[in-house]
């Protein structure tokens, strides 16, 4: 992984074997990012996405271990328990029996298989998160 800052943006190149969530959290910690928007594209060798089930308060997970095109990565960075907290959603394209398919949802894990091109756009300020027991998720806390 390498990254460079240009004006108000951080451009991150992820390399084969890098884990997206871990790598971006590391960049945000090093750069003191406490609120930001994230976008990106790339090629992955493994991805785990989830769709939250409010009744069970767990993610219904789906995992694919093959070459995937990361066609859209979007989300944000906030702070939870003093550390960068990434809330990312992703869409991946892949082939299954010659048919183009997609995998998308809340990004739980993803490993780069080729390269990743991610842009982090920090903003002045800090957005923290708090756990909302009525929802079973961490929500933005502006207090």
CATH number at residue 67: 3.30.1330.80
Q: Which percentage of the chain shows pLDDT scores above 90?
A: 97
In this predicted structure, the answer to whether residue 74 has a pLDDT above a threshold of 90 is: yes
Confidence at 88, pLDDT banded by 50, 70, 90 = very high
> With 90 as the cut, is the pLDDT of residue 105 above it?
yes
Helices then strands, each counted (H, E), the chain: 1, 9
Distances (CA, A) of 53 to 57, 105, 113, 133, 140: 5, 12, 29, 14, 19
- pLDDT tens for residues 23-63? 999 999 999 999 999 999 999 999 999 999 999 999 999 99
| Total-model pTM | 0.95
The total number of structural domains in the chain stands at 1
The neighbouring-strand residues paired with 76 are 37, 87
Report which of 68, 111, 113 is spatially closest to residue 93, judged by C-alpha positions. Answer: 68
Find the domain containing 109 and state its range: 2-141
């Amino acid at each position: 992984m390498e990254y460079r800052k240009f004006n108000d943006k951080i451009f991150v190149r992820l390399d084969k074997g890098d884990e997206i969530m871990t790598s971006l959290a590391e960049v945000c910690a090093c750069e003191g990012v406490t609120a930001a928007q994230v976008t990106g594209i790339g090629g992955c060798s493994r991805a785990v996405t989830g769709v939250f089930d409010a009744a069970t308060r767990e993610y219904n997970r789906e995992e694919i271990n093959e070459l995937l095109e990361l066609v859209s990565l979007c989300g944000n960075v906030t702070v939870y328990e003093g550390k960068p907290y990434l809330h990312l959603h992703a869409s991946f394209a892949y082939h299954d029996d010659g048919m183009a398919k997609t995998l998308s949802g809340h990004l739980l894990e993803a490993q780069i298989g080729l390269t990743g091109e991610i842009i982090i756009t920090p903003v002045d300020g800090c957005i923290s998160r708090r756990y909302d027991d009525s929802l079973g998720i961490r929500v933005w806390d502006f207090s």
